């Protein structure tokens, strides 16, 4: 695959992933664990086509390295669970933007790894990003935050994904096929938890196709992202991924799930701006690197 095609695929993955808060909000009547189970099944089905196409033996990804598999299950499962529950507990715009603090939190988490340095711009970026999120939770006309459990849940999910992303860098071997196995294992565990903890749900195709769409989008996005990281311009795609808080907010407004107001839009751009400031090192490397152009 040419670098340009792989890079464009990475951009497409960002556009697809940004639909997640919208689709989760549209399926709010489905029990959360069941929703996650069905979405994981759809994602697994999409990703498993790679095993079929390459005639890969999938067994090693389930049994060969339990540590990596469990870590992958945590990364794929916990953040998604927190986002789904947060959207069911607080307004979707608030849950979405707090969730999209994860790119900035990832920069902070990576700075704590051996061989990395903590830089002053991380503090400035964090203050701006958190300030953007804080705009959404202030009581009208005051500077007093009106926090609820859902805000904590959304932030916990963002922090968990940041820890997962940073932790994955310490693993010598973490191929994308472990994501495929992780989706299936999570789906099984989520179904068991649904049977034990949640009421039944009568399947409705009006909602069912949205779950199918979300799971399929997630699986396709992972395939495109994996290809972009391996064959495309990973730095450009990585920087572009910071646009997700703004994109997800635009989608929510465009599909009538959130009423347009300047506070929400300002908050989204502050979260984006904070992340970009915290990512200055990556941006400098991107724009000063010579001899690497898209083909």
- Is the pLDDT at 195 greater than 80? The verdict is yes
* Residue 295 placed within a domain: no
* Residue 250 placed within a domain: yes
Tell me the pLDDT tens digit for each residue of 38-54: 999 999 999 999 899 98
Distance from C-alpha of 163 to C-alpha of 246, rounded to nearest angstrom:
23
* Residue 293 placed within a domain: no
* Residue 104 placed within a domain: yes
Percent of the chain clearing pLDDT 90 (strictly above): 42
**Dihedral, 45, 50, 52, 54 alpha carbons, nearest 10:** -170
* Residue 137 placed within a domain: yes
Tell me the pLDDT tens digit for each residue of 152-187: 999 999 999 888 888 877 776 666 788 899 999 999
- Is the pLDDT at 213 greater than 70? The verdict is yes
* Residue 72 placed within a domain: yes
Q: What's residue 295's pLDDT?
A: 38
Residues 6+ apart with CB under 8 A from 26: 207, 210, 257
Q: How far is CA 199 from CA 34, 190, 229, in A?
A: 10, 14, 41
Mark out the alpha helices in the chain (DSSP H runs). 3-17, 20-26, 32-54, 59-63, 66-89, 92-99, 102-111, 120-137, 149-168, 177-197, 205-231, 234-240, 244-254, 262-278, 280-288
* Residue 63 placed within a domain: yes
* Residue 89 placed within a domain: yes
Q: Which two tokens stand for residue 9?
A: 């695929």
Closest CA to 42 of 229, 214, 223: 214
Higher pLDDT, 140 or 38: 38
- 244, 18 in Cβ contact below 8 A? yes
Higher pLDDT, 229 or 264: 264
- Is the pLDDT at 289 greater than 60? The verdict is no
- 276, 124 in Cβ contact below 8 A? no
- 220, 16 in Cβ contact below 8 A? yes
Q: What's residue 231's pLDDT?
A: 79
Tell me the pLDDT tens digit for each residue of 59-105: 998 988 888 899 989 988 999 999 999 999 999 999 999 998 888 88
Domain of 52 in residue numbering reads as 3-288
Q: What is the domain count for the chain?
A: 1
- Is the pLDDT at 293 greater than 70? The verdict is no
């Amino acid at each position: 695959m040419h670098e340009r095609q792989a890079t464009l695929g990475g951009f497409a993955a960002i556009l697809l992933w940004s639909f997640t808060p919208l689709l989760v909000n549209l399926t709010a009547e489905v029990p959360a664990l069941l929703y996650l189970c069905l979405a994981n099944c759809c994602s697994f089905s999409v990703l498993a086509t790679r095993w079929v196409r390459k005639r890969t033996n999938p067994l090693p990804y389930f049994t060969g390295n339990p540590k990596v598999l469990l870590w992958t299950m945590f990364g794929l499962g916990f953040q998604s669970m927190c986002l789904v529950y947060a959207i069911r507990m607080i307004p979707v715009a608030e849950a979405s933007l707090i969730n999209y603090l994860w790119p900035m939190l990832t920069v902070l988490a990576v700075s704590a790894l051996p061989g990395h340095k903590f830089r002053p711009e991380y503090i400035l970026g964090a203050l701006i990003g958190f300030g953007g999120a804080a705009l959404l939770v202030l009581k009208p006309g005051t500077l007093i935050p009106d926090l609820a459990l859902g805000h904590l849940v959304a932030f916990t999910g963002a922090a968990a994904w940041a820890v997962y992303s940073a932790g994955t860098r310490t693993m010598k071997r973490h191929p994308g096929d472990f994501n495929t196995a992780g989706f299936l294992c999570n789906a099984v565990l989520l179904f068991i938890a649904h049977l034990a903890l949640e009421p039944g749900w009568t399947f409705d195709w009006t909602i069912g196709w949205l779950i199918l769409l979300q799971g399929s989008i997630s699986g396709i996005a992972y395939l495109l992202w994996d290809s972009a990281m391996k064959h495309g311009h990973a730095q450009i795609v990585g920087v572009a991924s910071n646009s997700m808080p703004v994109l997800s907010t635009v989608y929510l407004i465009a599909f009538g799930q959130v009423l347009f107001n300047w506070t929400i839009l300002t908050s989204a751009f502050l979260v984006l701006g904070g992340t970009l400031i915290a990512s200055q090192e990556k941006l400098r490397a991107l724009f000063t690197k010579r001899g690497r152009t898209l083909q």
